[in-house]
Amino acid sequence: MRPMTKLTPPVARKDSRTLPLHGHVLRDDYAWLRQKESPETLEYLAAENAYTAAVMEPLQPLIDTLYAEMLSHIQQTDVSVPYRDGRFDYYARTVEGKQYPIYCRVPAEAGSASRSVPPLEGFADEEVLLDVNRLAEGQAFMSIGASVVSDDGNWLAYTTDNTGFRQYTLHVKNLVTGETLESLAERVGSVTWAADDRTLFYSVEDEETKRPYQVVRRTLDEVGRSFSAAEPVWEDADERFNVGVGRTRDGQFLIIEAASHTTSEQWFLAANDPTGTLRCIERRRDNIEYSADHRDGVFFIRVNDTGRNFRLVTAKVEQCGREYWQEILPHRDDVMLEDVDLFRNFFVACERLQGLPRLRIHDLTGQGNLAEQARQTPREISFPEPTYTATPGTNREFDVKSYRYGYTSLVTPGSVFQYDLATSESILLKQVEVPGGFDGSLYSSERIFATAADGVRVPISLVYRRDHFERGKNPLYVYAYGSYGYSLPIGFNSNRLSLLDRGVVLAYAHIRGGGEMGKPWHDAGRMMEKLNTFTDFISATEHLVAAGYGGKDRVGIEGGSAGGLLMGAVANMRPDLFKVVLSHVPFVDVMNTMLDASLPLTVAEYEEWGNPNDDVAFRYMLAYSPYDNVVAKEYPTMLVKTSLHDSQVMYWEPAKYVAKLRSVKTDDNLLLLHTNMQAGHGGASGRYDYLKEIAFDYAFLLWHLGVEKTKD
Instruction: Give me the active site residues, please.
Output: 561, 646, 681
Q: How far is CA 310 from CA 247, 302, 414, in A?
A: 22, 6, 29
Sign for the CA dihedral angle at 207, 211, 212, 216 comes to negative
Please measure the distance between the N-terminal and C-terminal CA atoms of the chain and give it in whole angstroms. 30
For residues 145-162, one letter each, b for 16 or more C-beta atoms within 10 angstroms of the residue's C-beta and e for the rest, the string is bbebbbbebebbbbbbbb
Angle between helices 60-72 and 687-704 (to 10 degrees): 130
Long-range contacts formed by 144-148: CB under 8 A, 24+ apart: 145/188, 145/189, 146/188, 146/189, 146/190, 146/191, 146/202, 147/103, 148/191, 148/192, 148/193
Sign for the CA dihedral angle at 676, 679, 681, 687 comes to negative
Q: How many CB atoms lie within 10 A of CB 20?
A: 8
Name the helix (H) or strand (E) containing 170.
strand 169-174
Which residues are CB-contacts of 465 (< 8 A; sequence separation ≥ 6)?
A: 442, 443, 444, 500, 501, 503
CA–chain centroid gap for 627, Å, is: 24
For residues 456-486, one letter each, b for 16 or more C-beta atoms within 10 angstroms of the residue's C-beta and e for the rest, the string is bebbbbbbbbeeeeeeeebbbbbbbbbbbbe
The three-class DSSP label of residue 545 is helix
**122: β partners:** none
Report the C-alpha gap between 3 and 540 in whole angstroms: 42
Extended strands (E) in 411-472: 415-420, 425-431, 443-451, 457-465
The HSE-up count of residue 387 (CA atoms within 13 Å, CB side) is: 25
Which 8-state DSSP code applies to residue 398? S
The three-class DSSP label of residue 546 is helix
Contact between 514 and 481 (Cβ < 8 Å)? yes
Question: Nearest 5°: phi and psi at 39?
Answer: -55, -35
Contact between 79 and 93 (Cβ < 8 Å)? yes
Which residues are CB-contacts of 552 (< 8 A; sequence separation ≥ 6)?
A: 545
Determine the residue type at 674: H
Cα R_g (the chain), whole angstroms = 26
Kindly report the three-state secondary structure assignment for every residue of 591-615.
HHHHCCCCCCCCCCCHHHHCCCCCH
Report the C-alpha gap between 345 and 393 in whole angstroms: 18
Report the helix count and the strand count for the chain, using DSSP H and E: 13, 38
Report the C-alpha gap between 88 and 83 in whole angstroms: 8
Report the C-alpha gap between 646 and 282 in whole angstroms: 36
Contact between 107 and 456 (Cβ < 8 Å)? no
Name the helix (H) or strand (E) containing 657.
helix 652-664
